Structures are given as C-alpha cells and as structure tokens.
Structure 1
Amino acid sequence: MRMNSTRVSFAMAMFVAAALAGCRREQPAQPSAPAPASSTAPAPATQAATAATPLQDVTEHTADYVIGISYPPIANEYPALAAELRAYADNARRELLEAAKGREKGEGSAPYELVLPFTELHVSPTLVAVGVDGSSYTGGAHGAPLIARWVWLPKQNRLLRASDLVADAKGWAAISALVREQLHTALSQRIDADALPAAERVEVLKSASRMIEDGTEPDPEHFSQFEPIVGGDGRIRALRFVFAPYQVGPYSDGTQTVEVPSALLLPYIAPAYRSLFEGG
C-alpha cells in the first residue's frame, strides 16, 4: 500500500544531498503538522499563465534555503498543463521563501529546503499523468510532504478532476468503502508485524483507524490525488488513489496508495469518461 519511491528524481536527490552536505545538523524534534490541503493545491490555469514561457528546472542555493524543482519535458507539450504545474511550484516556493524571511537569526544551522521532482507517470494520446512526491523543510524533525497528481486529457485540453470523474454521492460512498477496507487491512498487517504489546496495539489501532475514517470520507476532495493504471489496450484498468502522510495515517506510515479496479469503479464513473476505462 505504501508508495514506491523509485519515481523520485535521483538527480534532484543528489543535488540536495550535495548542497546540504556538512551544513545540516540534527534538529530538535518539534511537533510537525501537515500543511493545509489548499496551501499548494493546483490553481486553475489562466490565459496569462498558459502563454508563459516553457517550464525550466529551478536550482537555488543560499545560506538560508535550498530549492530544487525539476519538470518532465512532456509538460511543455501542453501549455495549460505546464501552467498548472508552474502554479503549484510557485506557490510552494513562495511559502518557503516567506518562512525563510521570518526565520530568526541563529535559528538552527540547516537551511530551509524545497524539493519538487515532477515526474511523468503516463503519456498517451488520450491521457497524460504527472506526479510530484516532494517536501518542504522549514525546521523541526522532518519536512512537510508535498504530494500531488495531475491527470490531463489532451483531446479536451483540460484536467480530469475527481469531482468530474464521479459526480454523485452514491459513487463516492462506494469508493470510500472500498478504499477504507484496503487501508484497514494494511493497517492491521503493519501492526501485527510490529508485534506491539496488547495495550499499545489497541491504542495504535484506534488512533490510526480514526485517521483512515476521517481521511476517506465520501467526498471527492479526499480522493483528489489519483493516477491511472493503464492496460495494454490503452484504457484505464484501475485508479490508484494517493494519500499523503497525515491524511490516513501518521507521518511514519509514509505515503499510502489504494488501487481500485475499473470493474468496481465503472458503475459510478460519469458517462462522459467511461470510454477511458476497460469495459467502458
């Protein structure tokens, strides 16, 4: 269920490691809360943004912060998609710079850090999927995860959003139930593997189960990050819903994913998009 990290850009990771070598010391543990879901949510593309210059990778390194942003070449083939990615990255960069400006002199030794490796997940004439599994570090024990997905419809020249894909409450209730079942099963397996004492096991199970229920309420907003899993015929055979740390579990559980086969999704998919799915 946990997201494989092989999509993260190795070049970006090497850059950040080199930039921070010898300058980051262990930070005192601090409570870290998730960034609001809307803080770096993709903004609608405007005509001005669409007409902007092509995306270019960003590398910045000062005594106060390090920024590394890399874009997939495919994005520049679709200017409106490029505008969505640029808006997300610009917002994350702006938040980091504001945090760096407000940093007190002598506050820690490690520079703040933004790493955004956008990656190409799928490309075809009917679907383009781009993801980012990044983070923003502004002090504390660890960075805040920045996890997002974009599914682009080239023929319509627009994003495919969860609220478009499944338009009614009945559909989201069914999808929520399917996702919750898989997440609860994975949670039980992790707790069993940890061999916790009985009393601690009950508390961990109770707390994590509550996070699953809250983070998968039957609302498209809770399922807004998804990516298509495409079969050999070019149609979607499943959707992989992506949940950033804190949404359905503690930070230590990392990014979690749940795959729902198209056969289970089709009854709830809006008619306009059924042809994208196997069996549709």
Structure 2
Amino acid sequence: MRLNLPRTLLVLALSAGASLAGCKREQPAQPAAPAADTPAAVTPATAAVDASLQDVTEHTADYIIGISYPPVASQYPLLAAELRQYADSARKELLEAAKGRAQAGSSAPYELVLPFTELHVSPTLVSVGVDGSSYTGGAHGAPLIARWVWLPQQNRLLRASDLVADAKGWEAISTLVREQLHTALSQRVDADELPPAERVEVLKNANRMIDDGTEPDPDHFSQFEPIVGGNGRIQSVRFVFAPYQVGPYSDGTQTVEVPSASLLPYIAPAFRGLFEGG
C-alpha cells in the first residue's frame, strides 16, 4: 500500500524505479511531533525564527526523499519551525539508515515521503497534517502520521494537553473514542466471517490494542484535527491514530470524530469560543 503523493513527489518516486509497492518496514519510527514541552507562545528568543520552507527532492542510488510543505506555514514562523523540525528528524533517520543499506542487502533504495497538507486555514485556526512514510528495508515502511493545530491570533500551537486540561475530560473522551473503535472493529471482523474460535481470539487481541492505545492521557490523543463548520466554529474533533496504536498495520490509520457537544464540557475555558456552542 502506497500513499497518494503530490504529483512532483510521485513523478520522482516513479522515475527512480523503486519497486517498493510491497516492501515496507515492520515497526514505525515516528519523529517527535509536536513535543509536549515545546514552548507554545511566541517569546523574544523565538520571534525571529526563519519562516522559509523549501520543498526537498533528493534521489541517489541509496535513497529517495520527497518533502513538500504547505504554503500557509510560511506565514507563521513558529509553525514553519515545527514542520521543518519534524521533517529534518525524519530525513536524518533515513540518511543514517541509508549508510548501511548495502550491508543490509536491500535491493531497493530507501525512501522518505512527507507530503504536508493544509487541512484548514482561517484567520482564527490553521491545521496542517502529514500522512507520510519512511521505508528502510523490510516488509513495509513506517507510517509517519502527524497533525499540527495553529492559533494565528495567539501565535501558538494548540496541543491536546491544552485543549483538555483535566483527567476527568480525558476519561470521558477515552470512553467515547473506545466505543467507536470497538464498534468499527467488530464490524470489520464480522465482515471477515471468521470461524468462531478465531473470531474470539482476533477480537481479544485487537480490543486490547484499542484499550492500550486510548488510555485517558493526552499523549494518546496528541494527533487531532478540528472539523470546522460553515460558521467558522469547530463542530467536531477528529482524533487520528497511526497504524499500530489502536490496531495492526493492516488496519491502516484510524480516525474517530467526537462532536463538539460531547467535548465542550471538558474543553479548557480559554478555547471554548472556538467551538460551536462555546
């Protein structure tokens, strides 16, 4: 399974002749993004951050790299710095791995694809996502999934730990998300028409992954994207779970939308105005 890439990156990957359609790595190695301890608000020390972002296209016998940035990021230096840090970390890991590609016996070049996209842009809210991958040998590549939510008027990132600041809120959100994931899992397993004993075992293991990956802690819900209605207010929040967090690689990236009416009682007062009914 390959990602849908921007045309320039797709042409690059195809021209390289890399036959990676079925070659992907087993374990994900996500760059840190965004780090919970990174200062959220602008300070004198960070006010002059370089906002310039340049797409990256590299092709050698050992590796292929394609990184494309969203135009909106250049308007916000601190957001641009977050995206560049994520991409630089992923690129560094790939280049380190590529040094040993020949010794590892890989016939295909290693590959990093990071297509950053604008998910929402408005004067009050900007969200950016990346659904990329890093292939460094093995059966399949590591999915690189991340989201950033930027508040232009406050010049800061909105993190999950800011959005919901107390344990009670995360317990409620965890319950809501688990219910949807368990239901979707049961429907998928039913569609497979497995023998009863196998069905029980599959559900047992998969349900455990869901519960482990959605414990009531903001770290488990750090990747999210606001869904904005026609009135400019957030009508729901889509929580994004990369492969392996709440299911096996074969289940892909999973998402759960929680409506604002369910979230609003737990949203920190400073951000309630962003939501419908807030």
Q: TM-score, normalised by structure 1?
A: 0.91
The correspondence for 1:33, drawn from 8, 14, 27, is 27
Contact 2:62 2:98 survives alignment (8 Å): yes
- 1:34 Cα deviation (Å)? 2.6
Partner of 1:18: 15
Report the residue type matching 2:191 in the other structure.
Answer: A
Q: 1:20 is paired with a residue of what secondary structure?
A: coil
1:58-207 aligned at under 5 Å gives the runs: 58-105=56-103, 107-207=105-205
- 1:199 Cα deviation (Å)? 1.3
Contact 1:24 1:109 survives alignment (8 Å): no
Q: 2:67 is paired with a residue of what secondary structure?
A: strand
Contact 2:264 2:275 survives alignment (8 Å): yes
Percent of pairs with identical residues: 76
Contact 1:72 1:120 survives alignment (8 Å): yes
| Aligned counterparts of 1:146 and 1:158: Cα–Cα separation in 2 | 23
Contact 1:50 1:83 survives alignment (8 Å): no
- 1:271 Cα deviation (Å)? 0.3
| Aligned counterparts of 1:65 and 1:53: Cα–Cα separation in 2 | 27
1:126-175 deviations in whole A, cap 9, x for unaligned? 00000000000000111000000000000010100000000000000000
Q: TM-score, normalised by structure 2?
A: 0.91
- 1:25 Cα deviation (Å)? 8.7
Aligned Cα RMSD in Å? 2.0
| Aligned counterparts of 1:214 and 1:105: Cα–Cα separation in 2 | 36
- 1:10 Cα deviation (Å)? 4.1
| Aligned counterparts of 1:274 and 1:182: Cα–Cα separation in 2 | 24
Moved more, 243-252 or 42-51: 42-51
Alignment CA distance shift 1:50-1:259 (3 Å): farther
Alignment CA distance shift 1:26-1:88 (3 Å): closer
| Aligned counterparts of 2:21 and 2:151: Cα–Cα separation in 1 | 45
- 1:20 Cα deviation (Å)? 3.0
Partner of 1:253: 251
| Aligned counterparts of 1:270 and 1:244: Cα–Cα separation in 2 | 26
| Aligned counterparts of 2:13 and 2:47: Cα–Cα separation in 1 | 28
The correspondence for 1:42, drawn from 31, 34, 38, is 34
Contact 1:49 1:83 survives alignment (8 Å): no
| Aligned counterparts of 2:253 and 2:190: Cα–Cα separation in 1 | 20
Alignment CA distance shift 1:106-1:89 (3 Å): closer
Report the residue type matching 1:40 in the other structure.
Answer: A
Which ranges of structure 2 fall in alignment gaps of 5 or more residues?
none
Q: 1:258 is paired with a residue of what secondary structure?
A: strand
| Aligned counterparts of 2:257 and 2:114: Cα–Cα separation in 1 | 24
